[in-house]
Structure 1
Amino acid sequence: MKFEYYQDENGNIPFEDFLETLPDKDANKFRWMIGVVETLGLEVAKRQKWTKKLEDNLFELRSIQGNDIQRGLFFKYEAGKFVITHGFTKKTDKTPEREKEKARKIRNLF
């Protein structure tokens, strides 16, 4: 499996922009975790609680560093290929609806 980052029509990559706002330790852990998920696959990632299915073809990457909880939303767009739409810092147990809606809009473009 392989993750790609969504790039908008202006060349912006929202997930990379998000990672740049994080402390280096947090961003590096998130990048590491993405690489491990690519290598080991979604079933292992699900068991390790690195990913969570939110709804049909919308998933959450989960990274925790200390008290900071970062998330990246992604979807499958063809066999073995996934797109990370954007990232955010989670402050509650539930994924905010506005974050899911942002990911849905990007998914619909594909």
Structure 2
Amino acid sequence: MLDVIFFRTETGREPVREWLSNFDEEEGNIIDLDIRVVAEYWPQVLQTNLVKKMTGEEHLWEIRSRISAGKRTARILFTLERQRMILLHGFIKKSRKTPRKDLRLARRRRDLSKSRSE
């Protein structure tokens, strides 16, 4: 089982936790459950549609949560360090391709997280 950690900025903010607080209770519960399933069943969960390795990215995966009765998809990009799943960035996916700005932000946070743990 992986420990779930929220990425923390240098000022102490937890952007993914803040993003999650914007959802209503039902959607928040769906996303929370998906995070817990990934943490509990890693790496077997890679064989499902719930989580996917980001193509061409080193140490970057995404959790795909279907919300709003399946009409929207919330994505959380995360990295792994030892037995920790670090939640880096969350967004609502509106197109097939992950927006570059979201990938850049997740990469930057991944690199910051890695440099702090070294």
Q: TM-score, normalised by structure 1?
A: 0.91
Shift of 1:42: 2.6
Distance 2:49 2:43 in 1: 10
Aligned to 2:37: 36
Aligned to 2:19: 18
Is 1:70 paired with 2:70?
no
Aligned to 1:108: 111
Partner AA of 1:36 in structure 2: V
Shift of 1:2: 1.8
Q: How many residues align?
A: 108
Aligned to 1:90: 93
Is 1:99 paired with 2:102?
yes
Deviations 1:32-83 (A, max 9, x none): 111111111132x222211111122111111002212100000112x21121
Distance 1:11 1:35 in 2: 23
Partner AA of 2:29 in structure 1: N
Higher strand fraction: Structure 1 or Structure 2?
Answer: 1
SS of structure 1 residue aligned to 2:39? helix
Q: Which runs of 5+ in 1 are unaligned?
A: none
Moved >3 Å (runs of 4+): none
Q: Which runs of 5+ in 2 are unaligned?
A: none
- The alignment's C-alpha RMSD in Å is 1.1
Q: TM-score, normalised by structure 2?
A: 0.85
CA contact (8 A) 1:50 1:61 kept: yes
Partner AA of 2:18 in structure 1: D
Aligned to 2:63: 61
Shift of 1:107: 1.1
SS of structure 1 residue aligned to 2:98? coil
Partner AA of 1:70 in structure 2: A
CA contact (8 A) 1:42 1:51 kept: no
Partner AA of 2:41 in structure 1: L
